Chain A
Amino acid sequence: TQLLEQSPQFLSIQEGENLTVYCNSSSVFSSLQWYRQEPGEGPVLLVTVVTGGEVKKLKRLTFQFGDARKDSSLHITAAQPGDTGLYLCAGARNNDMRFGAGTRLTVKP
């Protein structure tokens, strides 16, 4: 079993729709990161959240860290085809970082 469970595993939506993807765990993390990975490339860091309840915005993307620092969500407003990719969350604890399996998002024009 994964330490970090991401849901949904796959998501296909139309351009302009809103969506939320989740990253859940039973473990507490000192910080949590979200990455986006495009086909044939390595992951690229989007954001790091550190404080329980923290909300960060990156243009149309909103990231939230759960109050208990065990889970996180990523909300995309008015999705665009350029948002297509694999979204990975990664939690850090005790100098160890673990990745979830990712949510593969497809945004159709």
Chain B
Amino acid sequence: NAGVTQTPKFQVLKTGQSMTLQCAQDMNHNSMYWYRQDPGMGLRLIYYSASEGTTDKGEVPNGYNVSRLNKREFSLRLESAAPSQTSVYFCASSVFLGGQETQYFGPGTRLLVL
């Protein structure tokens, strides 16, 4: 049981390049999330998917697109990377336990846009 896995772990892009961040979970969770973490800003939600086939915008969706490929996989795409997108990106999945939502996070992808 690997939990939430993310690839790649590190990436350097030039401004204008595109890339896709991959996320997969093996816990059979319905909900999945993409966050970015910046110093002094905490975790901010980019997009989420409440179930397979649905996606919704979070707090900071501009410049990103997502795909919920199946129940296990949720990818985040940067079509034209900008330096402002330099950040650490975390994927998470969640389950309700005892009436409360518990999120499980992946190890993160560190992205530098030059």
Residues of A within 8 A of B105 (CB): 42-44
CB contact list, B12-58 vs A, under 8 A: 35, 40-45
Chain B nearest Cβ from A48, distance in angstroms: 5
Residue ranges of A at the interface with B (Cβ–Cβ < 8 Å): 2, 4, 9, 31, 40-45, 48, 50, 88, 90, 92, 97-102
Q: Which B residues touch A4, using CB under 8 A?
A: 42
DSSP class of B's interface residues: helix, strand, loop or mixed? strand
Chain B interface residue bracket vs A: 20 to 34
Measured CB to CB, the nearest residue on chain A to B59 is A98
A9 to B39, CA, bound (A): 11
Inter-chain pairs besides A42-B105, A48-B100, A99-B35, 15 sampled, C-beta below 8 Å: A2-B41, A31-B100, A41-B108, A42-B90, A42-B92, A42-B107, A45-B103, A50-B100, A90-B43, A92-B101, A97-B45, A97-B101, A98-B42, A99-B43, A100-B42
Bound together, the chains give a CA A3 to CA B106 distance in angstroms of 24
**Interface residues of B, Cβ cutoff 8 Å to A:** 4, 35, 40-45, 59, 90, 92, 100-108
Contacts of A2 in B (CB 8 A): 41-42
User: How many Å from the CB of A25 to the closest CB on chain B?
Assistant: 12
- Of all chain B residues, the one with the shortest Cβ separation from A101 is B42
- Given contacts A31-B100, A50-B100, A42 and B106 within 8 Å (CB-CB): yes
